[in-house]
Structure 1
């Protein structure tokens, strides 16, 4: 299969509020990277944390993407409907002794210095009413670094690389690191394009790919839009929703943020025309090689 047909990318927002400018950067960057390689671009709604979700946000996010001309290929996947797939993988990990139950609370871990040190690894506790952790010691070597196609060589915290991270919470909710990897495997995602705030989680996810014997996708971590150093635009920080009624100015601003020469853009009459120009002119090496850009 040629690269032009093999590429599958995705945008995976959580429905904790409307799309803001920072979310648009992730959506747009992943879309352009996929379409410039004649690949598929999928949308997945990461709705596995009900306490953080806002009613109607999923529909609003999809409406906003379409208002900006960001039309996805294939059906939208909802994580809340993937529990059978998650449980199958959890059962496999348990059978292979790649996971174990843990009764340690956040308070206990904090008292031990803030890092989980495998306290329950050999206790053979019941899976019922306990968190489940991945057994990182089963890896040939902990994931302490990886190559990012934009940010270059990324070195991760060595202590965190050794930490047995949670894959299912005590309250029964699936951990992000488990769900995102299983979904990306099941959807055939070949490259993950997302914000640089997720760089620290990447080692955990690569660990899970390796323990499951699956090929690891390539990664592109885009710069975050920040209001000041260290303060990213986010739903938690009450970032404003982007304008669905008049999307063209914001779309052009987002393209400029990603390094495209928007001064050369002649026809600005519709989002679809602008995106066609953007796909034709997209080059990943034009994106600023930074983890943050102030807006």
Structure 2
């Protein structure tokens, strides 16, 4: 299978400058390393009508192209089911009946990392599980054998993060993100994952899960975010931060693309022009502070 990189947005709304800049970086990383570039829509539970079409339009407007048909997570349930069934058969899962409130109020397990699931339902007897099934559907959690896992990141080096008994399938039947993303990347031949560095803390969970499923762990590069003037991750509330917003104040997509490339120390004009000078080692290490330019 051909190696590939990818961009995988959730169709919950329009892409903002931070999303588009990460997509450009993912494209540059993939193309500079001879990989294909794929687009996956992660629409398991956060889809807004019309958002996918808007996102694809905006990606194309800034020059991001992809090398195969778009894949959607809602079309891939059999793959997720098979992965979960393997983990169940291997004795690596258990049913969990905890509510969010119960988890927040439960004492942490001894020596567990802060924020880790305390393992409440791991200790239930068969009779206790039967009683709880009568009143509440169960989620499926991984029965982790580790509390932390190390991954290698092209920009951050070795990163060691928490691994707890995280959810694989929610109690409403929806596959959890950490399971879906691991299965999807492997099925699509994605061996390079470039995404925002806010997702770095969850990466050890995914890498650990991949090893349990007998899948290859991709190369990772977690890139700096775009932030507002307060240093907070960019959001829609920060004003003109989408292509539509910026077009409305007289700033075309081509100029927005060039601003994003310039923020990376790359020439404007096109992504192909930028690709000729792209070097991951020379990327800025700090977040980019977005200030809406004058038209």
Identify the TM-score tier after normalising by the shorter chain: 0.7 to 0.9
Q: Give how far 1:131 is off.
A: 0.8
The separation in 2 between residues aligned to 1:189 and 1:238, in whole angstroms, is: 34
Task: Tell me which of 94, 98, 119 is aligned to 1:100.
Answer: 94
* Number of residue pairs aligned between Structure 1 and Structure 2: 271
Q: How does 1:171-186 map to 2 (within 5 A)?
A: 171-186=172-187
The separation in 2 between residues aligned to 1:230 and 1:108, in whole angstroms, is: 33
* C-alpha contact (below 8 Å) 2:61/2:254 kept by paired residues: no
1:155-204 per-position Cα deviation (integer Å, ceiling 9, x unaligned): 32xxx42x200111111111111111111010010110000110111011
Q: Give how far 1:230 is off.
A: 4.9
Q: Give how far 1:30 is off.
A: 0.5
- The answer to whether structure 1 residue 208 and structure 2 residue 209 are counterparts is yes
Task: Tell me which of 100, 125, 132 is aligned to 2:140.
Answer: 132
1:41-69 per-position Cα deviation (integer Å, ceiling 9, x unaligned): 000000001xx322100011111112222
Q: Give how far 1:293 is off.
A: 2.8
* C-alpha contact (below 8 Å) 2:149/2:208 kept by paired residues: no
The separation in 1 between residues aligned to 2:31 and 2:89, in whole angstroms, is: 40
Q: Give how far 1:94 is off.
A: 0.6
* C-alpha contact (below 8 Å) 1:17/1:235 kept by paired residues: no
Task: Tell me which of 32, 38, 63 is aligned to 1:42.
Answer: 38
CA gap 1:234/1:178 in 2 versus in 1, 3 angstroms: farther
2:289 alignment counterpart: 294
CA RMSD of aligned residues (A): 2.2
The separation in 2 between residues aligned to 1:92 and 1:235, in whole angstroms, is: 40
* C-alpha contact (below 8 Å) 1:8/1:34 kept by paired residues: yes
1:234-267 per-position Cα deviation (integer Å, ceiling 9, x unaligned): 358777322496211111111122232x3xx5xx
1:271 alignment counterpart: none
What 5-or-longer segments of structure 2 have no aligned partner? 108-114, 291-295
SS across alignment from 2:227: strand
Task: Tell me which of 5, 8, 11 is aligned to 2:7.
Answer: 11
SS across alignment from 2:243: coil
* C-alpha contact (below 8 Å) 1:151/1:221 kept by paired residues: yes
SS across alignment from 1:116: coil
1:206-229 per-position Cα deviation (integer Å, ceiling 9, x unaligned): 111011111111100010000045
CA gap 1:255/1:204 in 2 versus in 1, 3 angstroms: same
What 5-or-longer segments of structure 1 have no aligned partner? 269-273
- The answer to whether structure 1 residue 70 and structure 2 residue 64 are counterparts is yes
The separation in 1 between residues aligned to 2:185 and 2:231, in whole angstroms, is: 28
* C-alpha contact (below 8 Å) 1:143/1:206 kept by paired residues: no
Task: Tell me which of 248, 251, 254 is aligned to 1:248.
Answer: 254
Q: How does 1:18-37 map to 2 (within 5 A)?
A: 18-37=14-33
* C-alpha contact (below 8 Å) 2:155/2:222 kept by paired residues: yes
Structure with higher RCO (Cα < 8 A, 6+ apart):
1
CA gap 1:236/1:92 in 2 versus in 1, 3 angstroms: farther
* C-alpha contact (below 8 Å) 2:6/2:194 kept by paired residues: yes
